[in-house]
């Protein structure tokens, strides 16, 4: 059985192998990244602003066509950096690197918005609505 500390260390090891922290100087195109499976946009000041127990971390995951990913990633990063994405502690984008543990639909990529606590339904719904409205998000069928 893993202790919380062991799980945390194991989780960080996976993030290190599969994720790269995004450059704060520019906004990089995740569809050009082939070394890491994910790019993480995180600012310590924003991550600290919305604190919750690590075990109660949740996320909103939005799906995008590969050709739309970079423009939506830019928008998400700019909104995050401005502090406009309420409750969001970091933003993560999938990249061009193959990920066998994920969807086989290669034409779709994801941007996830880390927030919480997941068990506060009203708060999580408010965060999600804010994300959707600011990004003007609709899924591939034109709905949300």
Question: CATH number of the domain at 4-135, out of 1.20.120, 3.30.390, 3.40.50, 3.30.760?
Answer: 3.30.760
pLDDT tens per residue, range 73-122: 999 999 999 999 999 999 999 998 877 766 556 678 899 999 999 999 99
pLDDT at 2: 36
CA angle, residues 61, 40, 30, in degrees to nearest 5 = 80
pLDDT at 3: 38
pLDDT at 142 exceeding the cut of 80:
no
**Mean pLDDT score, 13-36:** 73
pLDDT at 139 exceeding the cut of 90:
no
pLDDT at 49 exceeding the cut of 60:
yes
pLDDT confidence band for 68 (50 / 70 / 90) = very high
pLDDT at 13: 35
Domain ranges for the chain:
4-135
Q: What is the pTM (predicted TM-score) of this model?
A: 0.81
Q: What is the mean pLDDT of the chain?
A: 82
């Amino acid at each position: 059985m893993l202790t919380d500390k062991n799980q945390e260390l194991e989780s960080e090891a996976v993030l290190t192998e599969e994720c790269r922290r995004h450059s704060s100087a520019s906004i990089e195109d995740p569809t050009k990244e082939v070394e890491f499976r994910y790019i993480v946009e995180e600012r310590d000041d924003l991550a600290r602003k919305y604190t919750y127990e690590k075990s109660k971390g949740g996320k909103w995951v939005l799906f995008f066509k590969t050709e739309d990913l970079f423009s939506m990633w830019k928008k998400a990063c700019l909104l995050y950096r401005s502090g406009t994405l309420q409750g969001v502690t970091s933003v993560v984008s999938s990249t061009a690197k193959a990920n066998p543990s994920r969807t086989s639909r290669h034409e779709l990529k994801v941007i996830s918005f880390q927030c919480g606590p997941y068990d506060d339904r009203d708060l999580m719904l408010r965060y999600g609505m804010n994300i959707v409205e600011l990004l003007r998000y609709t899924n591939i069928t034109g709905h949300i």
